[in-house]
Structure 1
């Protein structure tokens, strides 16, 4: 049951709605990328010089005159503009969150400010995604920026809930190792998400069609240059500019990363299972991990079905949020007043 201070109830609802909206933005971003609609509108923030997708004959003729190299594809253009509209709406909600946060002294200030900064950076990355014609490092950064905004909103939502003690019957040593494991797992999951973004941005998702690693001789083909963030200048990065060996290198590292991530998540899930009040988090981690693995395998076997690929993005985000939740819960527990810890220490012998 969620407990909220009455003074912050409406603020909590605003943050919760914004969080749900941010999930929609991430899902739409994945859908836009996977339908090759990232350049559906060749300019930013409008579309062919208009605030909406050109529809009338005059608008379409104008669009063709100003952008002769990029013929209008209405469906892709609408995919891109819908994503921009909802992202813009989320930005406005983040502004309102900041206004409400600063009007009430007791409300958190740091996370709202960080959110505002991230929204500004994300808008720049959205613009550069178009103006730099899908440069992989920008596309990957845009993905990570979206995940960061969702995570910050989720953290703010957790912060607005009255703290719940999760350290009952837990020793300080156990709590310490839980914190270390949680932070390590978050880093591993973020790294794997970045690898997934790099794989998608370089169109390497379909380069290996067999399990568990790749049908190609990836050891011979492996090229570390595939991971250089700054690539040679090209007119467009759509459909990728790396050679076969480099794409195989990226794909294989992403799969190996998935194996490492699996071990890290299962280890954290086991540590949580050992603590009765953390078992629900353990079950959630394992469930999300199983779903994510199944979606990843389906992407390989079925050649990246659109719905499965979008779900793979969203479930990866869900796994990150679960990790963030565990890290936050054990972190809050470790910062409780010192006197709370006294019953947790082993009783010292007398005399």
Structure 2
């Protein structure tokens, strides 16, 4: 049954809004505006509405306002999905996660303003927001019945592909954390060249200090992620292309991780150009959301022994449908 229009609007507003929260948080970090409202929270410099507006105050206060506004939509979405779509296996879990992690990231942000936090704790802030975004995105896809449109309930995968999907999604979170750590430790320009840290060092590729280790560690983590996602995407294109849900998901993941790599390179070469840096955050957020959708796909799937078996099963379904169509005629 098609979902009510109002629920779809709330779902879209929540997903777009959560993405704005992610990018707003990245903007706060990249412009060093975290203390734009001083050590005050939830007020800003001692008043509910800031009296003196600077660039830092505007960025920090806008981020807080957007978070508060979007939180209303996310809570409404979670409650509505729980009540109307609670019979779907993932809905109650995703509804709870979206709200819990939304408020958790808000509390971490508040704690940073009030008392300050270590770089390694702050790096988790983006990751926690990312989990909330992924949960909201999956709820939105369920509301729009995307799984039915691509026949996602009948996906058939091998045990290896299922394990690879879950593993690469978990690993992507680690790679994202290293990227957040780069930002919060101010290691973004510790290496001024790409792909090596400094060309003038020749074959001496070892990092020289803590900041270079963090920067190059992130690049190495992303390199592994790129190779891993591309290898899965090639496998799906070769053996699972009859299953459109899998095909579109992994081709999309390969495109997003490629875009993430390119923008990461440009962040260094353009010396932290703001829109390039925000694009980098956007692509990695979308990639993680898509990988979480792939986990939902394989969790619903039927397990088969070999990729060829999947192809043959799809062929049998096609033949059965053709025979039924001919019989009806």
- SS of 2:263's equivalent in the other structure is helix
Q: Provide Cα deviations, 1:186-214, integer angstroms capped at 9, x if missing partner.
A: 12211110000011110001000122231
Q: Provide Cα deviations, 1:117-144, integer angstroms capped at 9, x if missing partner.
A: 1122112111012123353133211111
Structure 1: where are the runs of 5+ without partners? 56-72, 222-244, 336-340
Equivalences for 1:191-340 in 2 at 5 Å?
191-215=174-198, 219=206, 221=208, 245-274=209-238, 275-276=240-241, 277=244, 278-334=246-302
Q: How far did 1:17 drift? A: 1.5
Q: How far did 1:167 drift? A: 7.9
Q: How far did 1:103 drift? A: 4.0
Aligned-partner Cα distance in 2 for 1:199–1:12: 37
Match of 1:97 among 77, 88, 96: 77
Structure 2: where are the runs of 5+ without partners? 304-309, 317-329
Aligned twin of 1:47: 44
Q: Does residue 29 of structure 1 match 2:25?
A: yes
**TM-score, normalised to structure 2's length?**
0.81
Q: Provide Cα deviations, 1:133-182, integer angstroms capped at 9, x if missing partner.
A: 353133211111111111010122233326433587x7x6x432221121
Aligned twin of 2:123: 140
Aligned-partner Cα distance in 2 for 1:27–1:307: 11
Which segments of structure 1 move beyond 6 Å, counting only runs of 4 or more?
A: none
Aligned twin of 2:163: 180
RMSD in angstroms over aligned alpha carbons?
2.6
Aligned-partner Cα distance in 2 for 1:212–1:163: 39
| Contact preservation (8 Å) 1:218, 1:249 | no
| Contact preservation (8 Å) 2:153, 2:300 | no
Q: Does residue 123 of structure 1 match 2:106?
A: yes
**TM-score, normalised to structure 1's length?**
0.76
Aligned-partner Cα distance in 2 for 1:297–1:86: 30
Q: More helix by proportion, 1 or 2?
A: 2
| Contact preservation (8 Å) 1:129, 1:138 | no
Aligned twin of 1:241: none
Equivalences for 1:162-177 in 2 at 5 Å?
163-164=147-148, 165-166=151-152, 174-177=157-160
- SS of 2:129's equivalent in the other structure is helix
Q: How far did 1:9 drift? A: 4.5
